Structure 1
Amino acid sequence: MGKAGFIAARRWRRFSVSLLVGKLGVGAALVASADWPQFRGPNGDGSYPARDDGKPHGFPVEWSEKENVVWKTPVTGRAWSTPAVMGDQVWMTNATEDGKKMYAVCLDKATGEKLHDLLLFENENPEPLSNRVNSYGSCSPTIDEERVYIHFGSYGTAALDRETGKVVWQRRDLPCRHFRGPGSSVVLYGETLILSMDGVDVQYLVALDRKTGETVWKTDRTTDFGDVEPNGKIRGDGDFRKAYSTPGFVTVDGTVQLVSPGAKACYGYEAKTGKELWKVTYDGFSNAASPVFVDGKMAIINTGFGKAHLLGVKLDGGMNGDITGSHVEWDVFKRIPTLSSPLVVDGKVYVTSDLGILSRIDAMSGKIEKVTALQGRFSASGVYADGRLYYLSEEGDTIVVDPKGEMEVIATNHLDDGFMASPAVDGKAMYLRTRSHVYRIEAQP
């Protein structure tokens, strides 16, 4: 697509989005305006919207290094961010192993050719990661009609023009000691870009004007960690205050809420202003999983490390202050993952433990209905598309599951070098990022 075509398409997208925002609200606008614009897709829940005519999109079921691969592009470094897809572009973050250089990478969706490989930030002394599951480029980007937003936690946040790759604005003045590296991805709401900054020293959310990068609101967590000694010293090494989770949005009684799990508590904020509305407390910390929602009636929240629990939290107009005792409907603690996010399909919650135990749980009651074993270790979050579940293992297998009945494994597809990043889905293609390459997987005629 040439420059004139790119601009025309962008203008048409902007016009279409404006119509949909007025008629249907922000969720519908996201579905219409992008293919896979952010971590966990257009709805932020790992699902790809069904076609209006009810027919399947045609996503592949089987592939390998030699079968159904449209292209394979090397992206070296150490970065686990999910690719973000819009129009003819695929964007992702990248970083060197030592974190001293941080990049934004853009691939051509049709060919896999590198359109941009941009060095955005250089760091003289980045804090060591000190764990095997994180990277300096784990925060996934998000896209709107004009810009892509790249985030590396406190190391830097930037908005880039999607056409030219030029920096529109950047911020490097948002402090947070990530300790084991940043992990929370950015999300868009209205005219703001929302960042989650949960470190060992400070914990807060901040909304930036997506056009200028200026701060619109900033809200500190009000968590009582209970770890301060009488002399003011904090017990432990800091993990008990950290979180890596990406928030989600849900509308309750006409108010759009930003639901954000953190260490020791999950909060509901007014998305427009950042005002704290409610919280649910728990013992978990270092949360990585995003929340998901069931028909606006229930929030599904993972409490993180320290024995992960999955909580079903009732959503209604009575949510105010600490609602732990009044609104937690159920609590499941068997075979719950510490890293990957849940999926919700037809009123059922699907979670895959770190060691590959897949559970189907009734979303309203918390009853465990079915359990099946998958092979491998799982850090990436799965996706739901064309009536199937897709789970990516650290060993490089994508396991395709029929969620109904006995949760049968339909196929196991191997790619070299293993997965840490969650997949992206677009049209009838899947974009899979291993530790060293990005693939476009699509059924070939």
Structure 2
Amino acid sequence: MPPTFDTFAHDLRYDDLPQDLLWVLRRSFLDTMGVAAVASTTDMANRARRAARLMFGATEAGTARILMDGTPLSPAGAAMAGAFTIDAVDAHDTTSPCKGHAGAAVFPALMAMAEVTGPMTGADFAAHLAVGYEVSCRAGLAQHATCPDYHTSGAWTAVGVATAAARMLGADPETIRHAAGISEYHGPRSQMMRCIDHPTNLRDGVGWGAPSGIVAAYLAREGFTGAPALTCEEAPDFWADLGTHWRTVKDTSYKAYPCCRWAHPSIDAVKHLMAEHGLTHTDIASIDIRTFHNATRLAGHRPATPDEFAYGIAFPVATMAVRGQIGVPDLAPETLQDPDILRVSDSIRLIDDAHFTKISQGKRWAQVTIHTTDGHSFEDQPRTPKGDNDLPLSDAEISEKFHLFTDPVLGRDRADEIEGLSTRFDSLSADDFARLIDVCLTAPT
């Protein structure tokens, strides 16, 4: 018999973690910190930090610092501000079967908990992190299979955060059960397509999912009841191989670009066609993108805000066509007024393709045709995004993305230190792991 999720969370030890899981967690640590660095410069992150300072001051639980900022708050406050920060740039790790993101909530929440639960080694943190990821992924699968609406990542990461946070507080299995139940009941059952149709700072819900999980863990510790979590206890098919197979390994993938994954196959296709045929953006007369239905609902051709950029398809594709990358300079507000990008974006036609809609279950399909000013047409093959597990980013590509995002914000020396520590975090002593936490939480200078 497989363990129940609560005994799994309580009993898991570092020596139980397979090497392929540790490889994923190391990659996610590096990738998430890179996104946090660039995202810390955004207006959305500033708003979240200001609100957290107003509402979530230090408490009897102790103080935890905001990611890439350093302000000491309660653990729930630091988790909220940190999760909103990471979510401000849509480039964090993803799980396509759950149609969302685990690390954007799990990392800021558990790093905040690490600040208030005392010294720990990197191996200790790895076991907590594994619980947070695995429970989040399985709760997400169960929720998507049993709920009629497409909910944001905050809805199911709240359960994973609560489970891992209760473990970090030394809870027994029954208390962990109640923490998961409280977080599922109180977590943000937010509808993702609302933010696709009307992009705002709400993004993927992790800004409320992360603190919801932490508050649930503390409530359960104080005797508050809330079990069962239906996604954990009444959807047995999604938990039958718990402890023997890791959804975190199977489902975690990485983004090459800082925008909605649904736009990525089209960005890849335009990049490929332009390189293959020696095209520049001045050669482009128009672009046709055939893709699945929900992708055609991404924001319009002329985004007015970074939120609309993040949940867009035409404008990010045009940005790649004009600039050949989507990095830190390309996330600046001035990019939204770039006349060359706007011209290409306006030329893009989105075509709702029924076949791609049918096959885009756990995958994201698109096919691009570029029409040139001299009358030629170049058609790419249908494709899914680079970065998915069948076409993964290499360690070198993860590193390149990290430095593209981090170096302009933190400087190369600090970026190198984060990379050197995070890519072997599970082998760090308590002192060295504390140094990694410190270098990730301190504000850019």
Q: TM-score range by the shorter chain?
A: under 0.3
- Taking structure 2 as the reference length, the TM-score comes to 0.28
Larger relative contact order, structure 1 or 2 (CA cutoff 8 Å, min sep 6): 2
More helix by share: 2
- Taking structure 1 as the reference length, the TM-score comes to 0.28
